[in-house]
């Protein structure tokens, strides 16, 4: 049964929007990442088959593909994004007005920040690349990590966060995907900083999908 809190997307009955994951069983390795990560209970898990089951497809946040992104065997697929675009056009969901000057300034600021981050990254003697999934914004993750690294000889750079929507994070429990690099410009080894970062991730219930 469809949970009432997931019954509508921008006023549109959720069952009119064909957006949900499909599991390709022959590719699935039964790792349970999708089952554990999804905060909307889209998946159940068949213990006999050792495979996830899409039990509540319309609980899926429209536009969210986190489970497919973190799947190590590419066993989860979604419809093409044009499905959402068609819904948006039909129901006139998108009514956004952008100011050219503000847009240009934002772009310049982002480019400058990226250049600075990449410069720091190029000087780093050691780095660790993380990929995580879960309720990143809701758990206020970045301020917690910032507080930890303030007095440490390390920094976090090249941060990327993918989420279906900001409201979805807080109100509708849609998981997000985040990647970043932990770097040091003073020491050969960032292991001590890495242990602290990973403790923060664990304490906040986030899934470490990849570390390299």
Instruction: Give dist(CA 59, CA 57) in Å, integer.
Output: 5
Residue 192 has a CB neighbour count (10 Å cut-off) of 12
pLDDT: is 86 or 95 the higher one? 86
Domains 4-91 and 100-211 in one fold: yes
Other C-beta atoms within 10 Å of 136: how many? Answer: 21
Average model confidence (pLDDT) across the chain: 84
Q: What is the pLDDT of residue 185?
A: 64
Distance linking the first and last C-alpha atoms of the chain: 41
Structure confidence by residue, pLDDT tens digits, 143-178: 999 999 998 888 999 999 888 777 777 766 778 899
| Residue (of 133, 138, 173, 129) closest to 32 by Cα position | 133
| pTM, full prediction | 0.57
Q: What CATH code is assigned to 100-211?
A: 3.30.70.2690
Query: How is domain 4-91 classified at the CATH fold level?
Result: Alpha-Beta Plaits (3.30.70)
What are the backbone dihedrals phi and psi of residue 109, each rounded to the nearest 5 degrees, phi first?
-60, -40
Ordered by start, the domain boundaries in the chain are 4-91, 100-211
Tokens of 64: 């969210």
């Amino acid at each position: 049964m469809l949970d009432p809190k997931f019954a509508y997307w921008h006023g549109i009955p959720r069952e009119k929007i064909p957006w949900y994951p499909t599991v390709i069983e022959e590719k699935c390795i039964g790792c349970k990442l999708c089952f554990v990560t999804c905060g909307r209970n889209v998946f159940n898990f068949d213990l006999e088959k050792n495979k996830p089951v899409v039990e509540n497809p319309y609980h899926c946040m429209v536009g969210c593909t986190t489970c497919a992104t973190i799947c190590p065997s590419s066993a989860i697929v979604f419809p093409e994004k044009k499905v959402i675009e068609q819904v948006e056009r039909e129901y006139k969901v998108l009514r956004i007005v952008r100011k050219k000057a503000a847009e240009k300034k934002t772009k310049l600021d982002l480019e400058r920040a990226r250049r600075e981050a990449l410069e720091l990254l190029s000087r780093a003697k050691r780095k660790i690349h993380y990929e995580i999934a879960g309720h990143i914004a809701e758990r206020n993750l970045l301020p917690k990590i910032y507080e930890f690294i303030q007095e440490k000889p390390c920094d976090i750079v090249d941060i990327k966060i993918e989420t279906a929507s900001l409201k979805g994070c807080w109100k509708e429990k849609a998981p997000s995907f985040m990647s970043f690099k932990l770097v040091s410009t003073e020491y050969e080894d960032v292991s001590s900083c890495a242990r602290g970062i990973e403790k923060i991730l664990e304490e906040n219930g986030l899934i470490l999908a990849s570390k390299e």
